[in-house]
Structure 1
Amino acid sequence: MSESGPSGPQGGNGDNPAGGERRRDRPPVRALDPATAMRLTDGRPPLPALYLSDRLLVRNVPGLTRGLDDLGTALDRLGLDFEVTPPRPDEPRGLAGSAWGASITLRPRRSIEPVDAWDVLQRLRAADDPVAERLSLEHVLRPADGYWGGIGGYWGGIGGYWGGIGGYWGGIGYWGGIGGSALQEYGMPGRGGRMPVSLALPDPALRARKVDRSPVVALLDTPVADHPWFRDSERLIRLRYQHGHLVPDDPPVTSPSAGPGARPEPTPAPPAPPVGLLQGHATFIAGLLRQGCPEATVLSIPVMDDDGVVDESHLLDVLEALLERHQRGQKRGGRKADVVDILSLSMGYYAEDSSFTSGPVAEMLDRFAAAGVTVVAGAGNDGTSSPFVPASLAASLPGPKQPQVPPVSSVGAANPDGTTVALFSNPLTVITATRPGVSLVSTLPLTDGMGQPSSSITGDTNVRCTVDPDDYTGGFGVWSGTSFSTPVFAAELAASLVEQGGLKDVGPEAMCARSLAALHSCTGKDLS
């Protein structure tokens, strides 16, 4: 197993918009190496996975910090103590059902001894300890974005993030055997890589139809940056996670001269140092949602920073708070966008077991489905069929004799021809839909990096130059990935809900029926 050093990415753990409140520094991220790690209890080697080296998740703990005596006894036999981290309130939420559980930090009795959460988990499983059934690794999620084969330093040890993991990521070796150079083509400007463009299109919200209730798409991702398309607080609502609940977040500072329907003004921005690899990720997604369904309201909830790293427990905490808000909104009748129709997740983690179909994330998303929420997840960009959670939890639409709740939908990426699938798009067991995911055009933060035009001539009244490769002050750019085919499909579902009508009925049964009808319509499958 390979482990990141102390300078590894810290995600939403500091004082930042993604965290909402200060969280503890992330422990080292460890890569599960199939060649050296302890095997599964049936003798199979695990699949590569990224997890927090000294943490485990405990599911469905009564009273959060109570009912852990059996866990303490089991860990005592291994010479370990534990603490619940980060500290959480001990009272249950106002949910129909118990909280998802808690994250625990393992502490060796001898401080000089290392601790590996995977080894601890496997030893408990091998001993047939009942407590092991409630435990799982705390995985690290990353976006289903546009970085392939180590581009930008995410995987393969380039840039020092994961300490020389080698060829596990990016489709080389363990991930599907696809040559890394072929995947990397998508990272090149002109072949799907991020680059600035001009868009002669007014804000699609200006043509939005009036509806009884706007469909709400919850976007858990990076923060949505200031942009002229998103200065209308009715169409984009910003929330942040604080003390166990979602609270309103102040919008970014905007120019007083720019109205809601204005195009970005090409005002010069001072050159800035290189930004995070995922800078503008949610902004791009929000623009695709706006283009596909201008009537929809986007609920922006940051869970990660521009480094694109999310602790599984933090995602679960935010999902739990969102579910609480949704269920309360259903009781109030769905006012002020407090009921969620679609949950868009352009992120995931690779599970260590190819048969993985359970876990805290799966259980939480089942509860969203029962409450009438359609979950849409990106299939991932590594060209592998390895389970990428939550997209790998996708299932076929239910038959007449099955519970009528919307299953998780997984979305693959299509090339611009609309008929071929992008080479990077993961061929999971169940792909619900394939939508455009290469060389898409959408909104980006109004930033200007350190790059410069290759040629420039200054005149008396203007500057004539070639394209500045990282000047996004025009507000639009090109990007690729299943991160972006996901909101294309989510917007399609939202538009189908608008066509159906009846959105004012926010009871779980009515919402489930509408969600299934939209899924049948958008996937071309007959309701019968």
Structure 2
Amino acid sequence: MELESVGAALIRPGQVLIDRSAMSAAARWTQAVSEADGVCVVHLAPGADPCEVTAELRDRGLRASPNHVLRGQPLFFGGPASRPFPAEPVPFKHRRSRSGVVIGLLDTGVAKHPWWSGSEWYARLAPEQADAAEGAQAGHGTFLAGLLARGAPGAALCVERVLDGDGLTDEATVVRALHRMRERPPHVLNLSFGCHTFDDRPPPLLTDAIRALDDTVTVACAGNTASDRPFWPAALPYVVGVAAVDATLRRRAPYSGHGTWVDACAPGDWLTSSYLDTTGFSGYATWSGTSFATALVAGVIADGAADEPVRDVAARLLESEEAEQIPDLGVLVRGNL
């Protein structure tokens, strides 16, 4: 994927995202436009700067954003682990869906695994939603699927592959996937990826796409940035942003994003889950990162949604006077593993 760095944010060179209302205003910078699933990608004429074009369009009150690059968030930059490690099998029997709860998982896809062999949701999975076979984050989606399945036994997963094997995607791809979810929105949506933006403001088209899922609780990772700089979409006020705590359950994991914009935290170090059956692995791995803390929180919310409305579950989890709060990390959620 071609990308460039702008103010510690990554963007696709020469691309701006707009909605149809901004088409005429963007025409003078436009070389070509691709439109699909609710978003227009403007391919700029040579010499046009995506950030400058975005700023001018926004000054006119229009919805625009550079096409930011988003990354999956296992741990890459120091700490207890920078990659998955082989693990011994963990016993778990997947229950058939009786709760009716659906968890949306946008990630690298999901591979075949004993934990969901025979499950209805996996039987419906299209071949193109299989997990990436190669790359630094191949198996990321399968690992998350295992945490979600154990956290909310009986829930069904709705999987869409948006990340490549290196854990990379762009804002346009995610917005389009979210747009397609509107017809059958999940109860809970797990987004274990994100980005900084070029101006540290929320990306408007991604914001609109998440807000359009009115009845869905979206849970997103705070990022492995070790900083309080807002990480999107976790920093959106109607998204449950999740940081990671270390094994003490009292301190921030050294890699985790943090700040007043974080809503919850969960263990993120040395979690064991399903993985690819590949060289050096036999279907199980141990991995660390805010990606995986996010799945623990999403699993708790989805599990509770079998008995009450999902938004009530999330509100009770985050707003209870009895909840244990950690400064700049939000409410501590221990998970259902």
Q: What band does the TM-score fall into relative to the shorter chain?
A: 0.7 to 0.9
Q: SS of the counterpart of 2:31?
A: strand
Aligned amino acid, residue 485 of structure 1: A
Which residue in the other structure is 2:92 paired with? 203
1:487 aligns with 2:295: yes
DSSP-derived class of the 1:185 partner: coil
* One-letter amino acid of the structure 1 residue matched with residue 301 of structure 2: L
| Equivalent position of 2:225 in the other structure | 382
Q: After superposition, what is the alpha-carbon deviation per residue over 1:65-117, rounded to whole angstroms, capped at 9, x for unaligned?
A: xx733322xx2xxxx433112x54xxxxxxxxxx6431110123xxxxx4431
Structure with higher Rg: it is: 1
Q: 1:202 to 1:81 in 2, by over 3 A?
A: closer
Corresponding residue to 1:277 among 126, 130, 136: 136
Hey, which bits of structure 1, 4+ residues long, moved more than 6 A?
250-253
CA distance in 2, matches of 1:70, 1:185: 47
1:142 matched residue in structure 2: 71
Name the SS for the 2:79 alignment partner.
Answer: helix
How far the C-alpha of 1:526 sits from its partner, in A, is: 5.3
1:215 paired residue number: 101
Tell me whether 1:444 sits opposite 2:303 in the alignment. no
Correspondences of 1:96-107 after superposition (within 5 Å):
100-107=38-45
Cα distance in 2, alignment partners of residues 250 and 313 from structure 1:
19
Given that residues 292 and 488 in structure 1 are in contact (C-alpha distance below 8 angstroms), is that contact kept between their aligned partners in structure 2?
yes
Deviations 1:94-151 (A, max 9, x none): xxxxx6431110123xxxxx443123334666xx5x2x63322110110122111xxx
Query: What code does the residue aligned with 2:275 have?
Result: L
Q: Which residue of 1 aligns with 2:244?
A: 413
Gaps of 5+ in 1: 1-9, 11-27, 34-47, 89-98, 109-113, 149-183, 240-247, 254-273, 327-339, 396-406, 449-470, 501-513
Assess if the C-alpha contact under 8 Å between 2:64 and 2:205 holds in 1. no
CA spacing shift, 1:124–1:317, aligned 2, 3 Å: closer
Decide which structure has greater strand share. Answer: 2
* Rounded Cα–Cα distance in structure 2 between residues aligned with 1:315 and 1:120: 21
| Secondary structure of 1:387's aligned partner | coil
Q: Which amino acid aligns with 1:479?
A: W
Q: Relative contact order (alpha carbons < 8 A, sep ≥ 6): 1 or 2 greater?
A: 2
Cα distance between partner residues in 2 of 1:284 and 1:419 = 25
C-alpha deviation, 1:516, in angstroms: 2.5
Write the distance in 2 (CA, Å) between the matches of 1:484 and 1:299: 18
Secondary structure of residue in 2 paired with 1:477: strand
C-alpha distance in 1 between matches for 2:9 and 2:124: 32
Contact kept? 2:9, 2:196, Cα under 8 Å: yes
Paired residue secondary structure (2:223): coil
- Using a 3 Å threshold, how does the CA distance of structure 1 residues 276 and 218 change in structure 2: closer, same or farther? same
Checking the alignment, whether the CA contact within 8 Å between 1:100 and 1:360 is kept in structure 2 is no
Please give the alpha-carbon distance, in whole angstroms, between the structure 2 residues aligned to 1:104 and 1:237: 37
Amino acid at match of 1:56: V
- 2-side partners of 1:280 and 1:388: how far apart? 23
TM-score w.r.t. the length of structure 2 is: 0.87
- Which residue in the other structure is 2:172 paired with? 313
Alignment of 1:97-496 (within 5 A): 100-108=38-46, 114-122=47-55, 130=60, 133-148=62-77, 184-187=78-81, 193-199=83-89, 201-205=90-94, 208=95, 211=98, 213-236=99-122, 239=125, 248-249=126-127, 275-326=134-185, 340-354=186-200, 356-357=201-202, 359-368=204-213, 370=214, 372-393=215-236, 395=237, 407-448=238-279, 471-473=280-282, 475-496=283-304
> How far did residue 358 of structure 1 move?
5.1
Say whether the 8 Å CA contact 1:238–1:250 is kept in structure 2. Answer: no
RMSD over equivalenced CA pairs, Å = 2.5
Q: Hey, what's the Cα distance between the residues in 2 that align with 1:415 and 1:238?
A: 37
SS at match of 1:140: strand
Q: After TM superposition, give the deviation of residue 412 of structure 1 in Å.
A: 0.8
Assess if the C-alpha contact under 8 Å between 1:347 and 1:483 holds in 2: yes
Whole-Å separation in 1 of the counterparts to 2:264 and 2:54: 35
Distance 2:97 2:3 in 1: 48
Q: 1:321, CA displacement in angstroms?
A: 0.6
Cα distance in 2 between the residues matched to 1:293 and 1:361: 27
Amino acid at match of 1:140: V
TM-score normalized with structure 1 length: 0.57
Matched-pair contact (CA < 8 Å) for 1:215–1:497? yes
Residues paired across the two proteins, number: 321
Q: 1:309 to 1:238 in 2, by over 3 A?
A: farther
Give distance in 2, aligned partners of 1:440 and 1:198.
Answer: 12
Aligned to 2:235, the other structure's residue is in SS state helix
Aligned to 1:55: 15
Alignment of 1:13-52 (within 5 A): 28-33=2-7, 48-52=8-12
8 Å CA contact 1:235, 1:296 repeated in 2: no
Q: Percent identity?
A: 29
The separation in 1 between residues aligned to 2:173 and 2:203, in whole angstroms, is: 18
Change (3 A) 1:425 1:358: same
**Partners of 1:489 and 1:124 in 2: CA distance:** 37
The AA in structure 1 aligned to 2:219 is V
Partner of 1:507: none
